Amino acid sequence: MNGLPCTAAILPLLAANPLTEPVGVIHYLVVGAVLFTAGIACMMLKRNALGVLMGIELVLNGANLNFVAFASPYLQAEGGMSLGLDGQMIALFVILLAAAEAAVALAITLNFYNNHATVDVDRADDLKG
């Protein structure tokens, strides 16, 4: 493990067995990372545009999970001046943006389908340089 740059940061996490630890921020982060990775994989591998959109949702929600996890009062600095709801607020914004983005993306997809009778993203290369 010596060569890896992140060793120093990750090592303590790996040292403990997450399955036996009490539920903490690490668990949330792990779930978020799994969601994120699943979303990325979905975006990369799905040829159906709707599948890609679903992957995007997964990526966004993985990120949301992180925001909410880091917003835990236990992680706040002593005497912090914030309301303590920053993470939740950002997560709400992300959900909102995701909804808007999905609406636009679905509209594009529908139009694409109207024009090309398919929703295969590999065939949507009209805008390539």
Partner 1 sequence: MDIDTLLPTLLGLAWLLPLASFVVILFAGPRLGHHGKGAATVATAAIVGALALSLVAFVTWLANHPVGPAGHAEGAGAAHASADGGGEHAGDHADDHAAAAHGHQAGPHYSGDWYTLYEGGRLRLSIGWYIDSLTVLMFVMITFIATCIHVYASGYMHDELHDVTDHEVHVAGGGHLHRPGRFHRFFQALSLFCFSMLGIVIAGNLAMVFIFWELVGICSWFLIGFYYERKSASNAANKAFIVNRIGDFGMLIGLMALWGALGTLDFGDSTAPDGRLRQGLFSQVRPEVTDHALWVPDGMVKAAAADNVGRTVLEHAADPRAGVEAIESKVDGWREIGFGRWLLFIAGLGIFCGCVGKSAQFPLFVWLPDAMEGPTPVSALVHSATMVAAGVYLVGRFYPVLTPEALLVIAYVGAITLFIAATIALVANDIKRVLAYSTVSQLGYMMLALGVGGWVAGLFHLVTHAFFKSLLFLCSGSVIHACHTNDMRKMGGLLRVMPWTGWTMLVGCLAIIGAGVPFLDIGLSGYYSKDSILAQALVFARANPGHAILFWAVAGGAALTAFYMFRLWFMTFLGQPRDHHVHEHAHESPPVMTYPLVALAILAVVAGWTIGGFGVANMIEQARPVGTGLGEAGRYLFGGVTIPAEHDSHAHDVHVTASLVAFATAASGVLLAAAMYVWRVLSPAAVASVLAPLYGFLANRWYFDELYRFLFVKPVLAVAALASAIDKGLIDRIIDGLAWGAKQVAGLDAWIDRNVIDSLVDGTANATWNAGLELKRLQTGRLRQYVMFIALGTVALFILASMLFRSSLAG
Q: Which of 24-32, 63-71, 74-82, 116-124 is the region at the interface with partner 1 (rule: CB under 8 A)?
A: 116-124
CB distance 112 to 49 below 8 Å: yes
Contact pick of 2, 5, 17, 83 for partner 1 (by CB under 8 A)? 5
Any contact of residue 116 with partner 1 (CB under 8 A)?
Answer: no
Q: How far apart are CA 129 and CA 14, in angstroms?
A: 45
The 3-state secondary structure of 7-54, one letter per residue: HHHHHHHHHCCCCCCCCCHHHHHHHHHHHHHHHHHHHHHCCEHHHHHH
Q: Please report, as residue ranges, which positions from 45 to 84 form the binding site for partner 1 (by CB under 8 A).
A: 45-47, 52
Any contact of residue 9 with partner 1 (CB under 8 A)?
Answer: yes
Residues lying near partner 1 in the complex (CB under 8 A) are found at 5-6, 8-9, 40, 43-47, 52, 121-122, 124-129
